[in-house]
Chain A
């Protein structure tokens, strides 16, 4: 090995050691764990208790269904909203642009626990949302004790928190589109709406796909919102996500083998869906 390479590795050693101990080893070890029956003190090799159980466990199916439901509804709505927000924020007519950009980005800065507590207050039975519904002549909704309403609260909360974040990323993409393309289009008499669909969106595609992939991975690992807002996936298991299910198996029931199998499944699904997104993005080129 050349001296320079060796020096480089010497400098890298502290990091590599940390990486090996706290990343590679746990990842490898949990793969091994996922084949063990960890229900009692003597762990034995029995993949039927972990991988086998995944196939027949209705609670796992329920968590998977909930996660995919959030994915299918929340991610498209949020990305569409973020795109619209980004275009508005980019508008030259907008005054106090910096303030608005900050305001839409701010939810990400707020601590998870604080924002979850706010949402619980807003949506509780006597919260302001129900007060407003009643004032508007509608009936109040038991947001946190009805399964469908609780799911809606989770989706609303996620959208509130992450739409602005994605809007800022998309805004950066918008600003990289050269001005002269629009000038040419305007000279040719293309309307603003058609400019958006035929110029802005196609040129934004790589950025939007990036946002979708980030959001998909985030949703697959979703934990804090159903843990804090709907009190550990309640009512019943109506908002239990894969992340929460993994936590319940690992740290509620001490079933680390099954929890490891669930963890690997979540990772595999996230990778698969992200690859699908990337592939769909390339398709039409």
Chain B
């Protein structure tokens, strides 16, 4: 223990000391576009720290999770210096393997730096007084819509304030554009729509202290009611990730609701539709209700097994803690920053040609401070799998109403986790 403490003090001294020339090699595990965007920041990082060699290994999303788990279970054997961890799944690591990760406060992650990120991004990462990871990207939810289809039906998206407005508009849009469906969700394999609307309404699977189940609270009931209403109105058809992209290309869908990172997906998969897509805020339950939510987003953590913790921290602080790092990732690969100061960046403020000159990043990022925390807890996967099954049953009309469906979900989650259902 004493050596551990001494080490920690030493690290603190190193981390906060004046310019200490960092050197050595650091390795990062990540996936797909996220890995590519990390690679994109290395050049800028090496201008400040020329002696640190950064290697990004693209393992794929599931492999990163599985290998991190195996490495932590083996006491840190084989782990890289930096790990990419999705926020909603992160607490399973902190709760099962707290010693696998470095408390970033010991490396110089101060309160001031932490305050540069919105609360909802930090809620799962800072547990029991330790900061296990630093926020990376986020997924502020937006409605991506086809301007031409809306115009043809005479709908101005500014007038869509509630989900009922959205359904009424959808009716007109589907009439004016034969063969087009208002929106799409992966109702067979995901509860994404439910999670987004519930988060907007201030409800989640679990309470923010992660001590009880809140899935049958009023905000969540509203969310499930809206999903069912969309489905019953014939305005929501099933679609997996790939099927949505196909529908975008084929022009058979008018609106996609997703995290802000979907901007890059639309832009890169349907380049010929430039100028035809736009963005507006998600509708709410009431005309003056909240209109911000988050879907997805990850963080970076440093492993206890790392031999170059200071260099790893220097990289984190540059890539995640500066506009330069975060906006590079946005520009190159559409990764949405969670750093609040990114809003001041000239690129973020610029009109985007693909989006018909709309300043989409201002619209999307300005919702960030309004997003309410929705804690993943160590039991996210249990609740999510149960919710997908319950939602499917409810959409098929097997429950009396949304409240009954969510009461059943809450009971199942209680059985799986041993947590009580909140009053």
**Across the interface, do B417 and A39 meet the contact criterion of CB distance under 8 Å?**
yes
Residues of chain A contacted by B18 (CB below 8 angstroms)? none
A59 to B385, CA, bound (A): 9
A234 to B417, CA, bound (A): 23
Binary interface encoding of chain A residues 246-260 relative to chain B, with 1 for a CB under 8 A from any of its CBs, else 0: 001001111100100
Q: Which residue of A lies closest to B246 (CB)?
A: A125
A254 to B69, CA, bound (A): 9
Residues of B in contact with A, size category? 20 to 34
A254 to B388, CA, bound (A): 20
Q: Which residue of A lies closest to B89 (CB)?
A: A252
**Across the interface, do A145 and B378 meet the contact criterion of CB distance under 8 Å?**
no
Q: A39-B418, A40-B378 are in contact. Are A235 and B96 (CB under 8 A)?
A: no
Confirm or deny: A8 has a beta carbon within 8 angstroms of a beta carbon on chain B.
no
Q: Which of B300-339 contact A (CB under 8 A)?
A: none
Confirm or deny: A58 has a beta carbon within 8 angstroms of a beta carbon on chain B.
yes
Confirm or deny: B273 has a beta carbon within 8 angstroms of a beta carbon on chain A.
no
How close is A239's CB to chain B, nearest CB, in angstroms? Answer: 12
Residues of chain B contacted by A236 (CB below 8 angstroms)? 188-189, 388-389, 392
Confirm or deny: B381 has a beta carbon within 8 angstroms of a beta carbon on chain A.
yes
**Across the interface, do B69 and A251 meet the contact criterion of CB distance under 8 Å?**
yes
A190 to B66, CA, bound (A): 62
Q: Which of A32-88 contact B (CB under 8 A)?
A: 37, 39-41, 46, 49, 53, 56-59, 62
**Across the interface, do A145 and B412 meet the contact criterion of CB distance under 8 Å?**
no
Residues of chain B contacted by A49 (CB below 8 angstroms)? 415, 418
How close is B252's CB to chain A, nearest CB, in angstroms? Answer: 15
Confirm or deny: A195 has a beta carbon within 8 angstroms of a beta carbon on chain B.
no
Confirm or deny: B379 has a beta carbon within 8 angstroms of a beta carbon on chain A.
yes
A59 to B412, CA, bound (A): 10
Q: Which residue of B lies closest to A52 (CB)?
A: B415
Confirm or deny: A107 has a beta carbon within 8 angstroms of a beta carbon on chain B.
no
Confirm or deny: A224 has a beta carbon within 8 angstroms of a beta carbon on chain B.
no
Residues of chain A contacted by B345 (CB below 8 angstroms)? none
A57, A254, A258: most-surrounded residue (chain B CB, <10 A)? A254
Confirm or deny: A237 has a beta carbon within 8 angstroms of a beta carbon on chain B.
yes
A251 to B386, CA, bound (A): 17
Confirm or deny: B240 has a beta carbon within 8 angstroms of a beta carbon on chain A.
yes
A258 to B415, CA, bound (A): 11
B96, B243, B418: most-surrounded residue (chain A CB, <10 A)? B418
Q: Which of B184-218 contact A (CB under 8 A)?
A: 188-189
**Across the interface, do A145 and B92 meet the contact criterion of CB distance under 8 Å?**
no
Confirm or deny: A147 has a beta carbon within 8 angstroms of a beta carbon on chain B.
yes
Q: Which of B366-423 contact A (CB under 8 A)?
A: 378-379, 381-382, 385-386, 388-389, 392, 412, 415-418
Residues of chain A contacted by B189 (CB below 8 angstroms)? 234-236
**Across the interface, do A53 and B415 meet the contact criterion of CB distance under 8 Å?**
yes
A238, A248, A251, A253: most-surrounded residue (chain B CB, <10 A)? A253
Residues of chain A contacted by B95 (CB below 8 angstroms)? 40-41
Residues of chain B contacted by A53 (CB below 8 angstroms)? 415-416
Q: A145-B188, A251-B69 are in contact. Are A237 and B385 (CB under 8 A)?
A: yes
Residues of chain A contacted by B240 (CB below 8 angstroms)? 145, 235
A40 to B378, CA, bound (A): 9
Q: Which residue of A lies closest to B62 (CB)?
A: A232
Partner of B381 from the list A234, A253, A258 (CB cut-off 8 Å) is A253
Residues of chain B contacted by A147 (CB below 8 angstroms)? 188
Residues of chain A contacted by B66 (CB below 8 angstroms)? 251
Residues of chain A contacted by B385 (CB below 8 angstroms)? 59, 237, 248
A-B contact pairs, 7 of them (CB 8 A): A37-B418, A49-B415, A57-B416, A58-B389, A59-B385, A145-B188, A255-B382
The 9 closest A-B pairs by CB, nearest first: A235-B188, A236-B188, A236-B189, A253-B381, A235-B189, A53-B415, A254-B96, A39-B418, A253-B382
Give 5 A-B pairs besides A58-B389, A145-B240 with Cβ atoms closer than 8 angstroms: A39-B378, A39-B379, A145-B188, A235-B188, A252-B381
